[in-house]
Amino acid sequence: MFPENIAERTRRDFPLLNSISGQQGLIYLDHAATSQKPQSVIDSLEHYYKNINANVHRGAHQLSAKATDAFEGARQIVGNFIGANSFREIVFTRNATEGINLIARSWGDSNLKEGDEILLTVMEHHSNIVPWQLLSGRTGCLVKYVGLTPSGELDVDDFCEKLNEKTKLISLVHISNTLGCCNPISEITSKAHKYGALVLLDACQSLAHQPFDVGSIGVDFLVGSSHKICGPTGVGFLWGREHILEAMPPFLGGGEMIQDVFLDRFTSSDLPHKFEAGTPPIGEAIAMGTAIQYLELIGLENIRDWEHKLMEHLFEKLSQINDLRVLGPTPSNEKYRGALATFSVEDIHSNDLASLLDIAGICIRSGHHCCQPLHRHYGLTGTARASLSFTSTIEEIDLFIDELCSSISFLRKNS
């Protein structure tokens, strides 16, 4: 069992969080951009390259067999983590962005035509906007956007108004990386399926923060990224319903994704390998499996509950700062909210705040967070964002708030 304050137990597992910056420990509040890595993940990646470095699936020697077992074992870990029915439903990708592009290129090019419609939301990350705009240019399908409520949540009424028999796909984020709102996915999938539409879920901001099961929420596709769940960069995954993936053509051609190749044709390999052309990120995938096991050891329920307490404290402190505006809904016991706060301060640029906080050893994000349409919706060019994890502490939040207030005061005096 982990203590109520799970940060007390877990921080020692993260080498970078124990580094020194100036006169105090590094305060990392940019977990929504990329998570820190525990020693077990670092060791897992090192173990692959030191002890079983070989290509997978292709060699008859013992190193290849060991690498293949570890690689496919990681696939099984990912599948179990999200509640997949079969390892065949898990496709390794470079990142979540590649997973979305795979769906757009393979499923989209094969199934959509002029007049068909795709529903997105105004809060989407660019990686869940641009691939569909490109698809629209190729096929003539129409991309529509669902709006927001005044509190910064998905406007379900607007969604229902725009959903119709022409809608073929809804692609949306689970937790917004800017607003922090958690979208009502089960409600969305239920309504979408009545029209025969599929649902693709960007789960990058939710997988490391709450329990997850694709069966219970009813989506048809899901993408995730290793570096957001304490794993290495350079690897992610796509989950899709097996019968849908079976019907989709390959995305990339080359080695690994074939069964047979002739001079005038080829036959595809079975799932999931028909979507994994070329040598995959073997060590990274194995270490992603290690990261998932680490999260499961802590317990996603424990993570969710601790981060909720942190968010309540952070929002209380931010609410006391004059002329500071937080985007998205406030934390409540009725609705889950992502462990981040995106804010703007009147007449102060977010980059200036981030630069001063960095001098004090505090890492936050500034800019548009790959959500330019959302920022235009609010009439903003950029915001600051503090994002937390289960390794974050109340003390770190208090130090952040003190430095933030000092930075605001300094910038106003020198403006």
- Residues classed as catalytic: 370
3-state helix, strand, coil in the chain (%, to 5): 45, 20, 40
Task: Give the closest residue to 87 by CA, choosing from 99, 73, 100.
Answer: 73
CA distance 95 to 227: 9
Cβ neighbours around 156 below 10 Å, total: 15
CA distance 326 to 291: 31
Which residues pair with residue 221 across a beta bridge? 200, 240
Structure tokens at 337: 């909210």
Over the range 207-241, which residues count as b (16 or more CB within 10 Å of their CB) and which as e?
bbbbebebeebbbbbbbbbbbbbbbbeebbbbbbb
Which residues pair with residue 90 across a beta bridge? 239
Structure tokens at 119: 């529903």
Amino acid identity, position 78: V
